[in-house]
Amino acid sequence: MTRCCTIRWLRRKWKASVCLFARRTRLLALFYYCLCFDQVFLFFSLADHPTIVRFHVTVMSLDSIDESSMTFVADIFFAQSWQDYRLQMPENMTGDYRLLPVQWLNDIWRPDSFFKNAKKVTFQEMTIPNHYVWIYNDTTILYMVKLNLLLSCVMNFKTYPHDTQSCSMQIESLSHTTDDLVFLWDPQIPLVVDRIELPQLDLVNNVTGDCSQSYSTGNFTCLEVIFTLKRRLGYYIFHTYIPTCLIVIMSWISFWIKPEAVPARVTLGVTSLLTLSTQHANSQKSLPPVSYIKAIDVFMSTCTIFVFFSLMEYALINVILGDFVDSDRSMIKSSFRSMTKRLSTKFRRSKNKTRKNSCMSDGGQSASELEDAEAVVAATAAANTAKYRLRADHQTCRRRAICVDRVSRVLFPFLFGVFNAGYWIVYMFVYVDEALTI
């Protein structure tokens, strides 16, 4: 084993010496290429500085932005260029560059770049494989390829649907540290973004940056493109906000319905509450289950509270009216029951007295009959008095209930308007400024 390693080391030392001599004396390019082209070892060992690879990205489309899986799709032209001093152009070459066969990629060195946050990379092959290689007179190699990327994007939905998301595309070296390999953006045109139209998002900004990171094995070079996406509110205004506000306003119609219409007011309140719950569930379908409160949760929950309190308002009115209505009926019934009992007692007594004593003349009335008539009149008057008094109390309570309704007609819309003003000011201006600052 030791002998094999020694022979391999001597072979590499000899090969490096021959390659250095061939490069300095400018021997034939073919001999230089065949003898000296070690894809990994010689390229970094003979250089006294890290190899620089320059990148250029053309973004043709961004689509399939999925909030539930936090991914998006990008179609790009991906270009990387580097200089390989081991390659030389023929002396009789007339142009500045030459198009090489793609098969050369299997024989020459190329950067080990990969997309760090990619979940899936698709190479385009319609109608031919979409990649090519150019080599320039100064031994610069340009490799360009068309790719379809499924990229992950960490999204924050605290201000949804007023949110601004920052999604990146990161390019990193797989196995070489910054001592051997450095990625840089093309100084002239690092990034080109075609006109991109998204159904629910606006591409408000895109920048290039450096995302180099240190790991336990060393510092690895990395480049990134950051896309800033602002969500459009048009869809949510017409499909969430306006319908929800109309449901809340519909629940206020019960304030104009008379307090005695129990089925109408209860049905309206319960229907509004159930409809709002369904609307809230529909607004969460496209989002992942998160543990924090979103802007849409604040709006929908507050609207649900307004509808709930409109239902509780009628419960209060029903309590005010229900006690006196029940007492009115019970007292009237007890009054008539007492009067009937008294009249029956008087009637039995007067009948017994009539049989025993007939002191009055023909055609006259006995004293007992007069007493019975007076008792009937007194009992009837007492019952009517109680009935009128209870009816007056009932009217007083009804006026109180109507007064509560009148206050609710003003208080509920006023508080709902204050809430809407605060909600839209906070999420349209305060959080937008913070997102742009970040």
pLDDT tens digits for 312-360? Answer: 998 888 888 775 555 555 555 565 566 555 555 655 555 555 555 554 4
Please give the full DSSP string across 371-438, using - where no structure is assigned.
HHHHHHHHHHHHHHHHHHHHHHHHHHHHHHHHHHHHHHHHHHHHHHHHHHHHHHHIIIIIHHHHHHH-
Q: What is the pLDDT of residue 239?
A: 93
Q: Is the pTM of this model over 0.85?
A: no
Number of Cβ within a 10 Å radius of residue 405: 19
Share of residues in the chain with pLDDT > 70 (%):
70
Q: Using DSSP, state whether 145 is helix, strand or coil.
A: strand
Residue pair 20/46 in contact by the 8 Å Cβ criterion: yes
- Tell me how far apart the 2 most distant CA atoms of the chain are, in Å: 166
Would strands 191-193 and 51-66 be described as parallel, antiparallel, or unpaired? parallel
| Chain-centroid distance, C-alpha 434 | 18
Q: How confident is the model at residue 370 (pLDDT cuts 50, 70, 90)?
A: low
Distance CA 57, CA 189 (A): 9
Q: What is the pLDDT of residues 230-256, one digit of tens each?
A: 999 999 999 999 999 999 999 999 999
Number of Cβ within a 10 Å radius of residue 92: 5
Q: What is the pLDDT of residues 9-40, one digit of tens each?
A: 334 444 454 444 444 443 344 334 444 555 55
Q: What is the pLDDT of residues 211-221, one digit of tens each?
A: 999 999 999 99
Q: How confident is the model at residue 438 (pLDDT cuts 50, 70, 90)?
A: very low
Gyration radius of the chain over CA positions: 45
Distance CA 60, CA 194 (A): 5
Q: How confident is the model at residue 374 (pLDDT cuts 50, 70, 90)?
A: low
Closest CA to 12 of 32, 41, 54, 33: 41
Percent helix, strand and coil across the chain, each to the nearest 5: 50, 25, 25
- Please report, for the chain, how many H helices and E strands are present, in that order: 9, 14
Q: What is the mean pLDDT of the chain?
A: 79
Q: What is the pLDDT of residues 147-204, one digit of tens each?
A: 999 999 999 999 999 999 999 999 999 989 999 999 999 999 999 998 888 988 999 9
DSSP letter (8 states) at residue 199: S
Distance CA 270, CA 314 (A): 12
In the numeric block, which tokens belong to residue 24? 């300095």
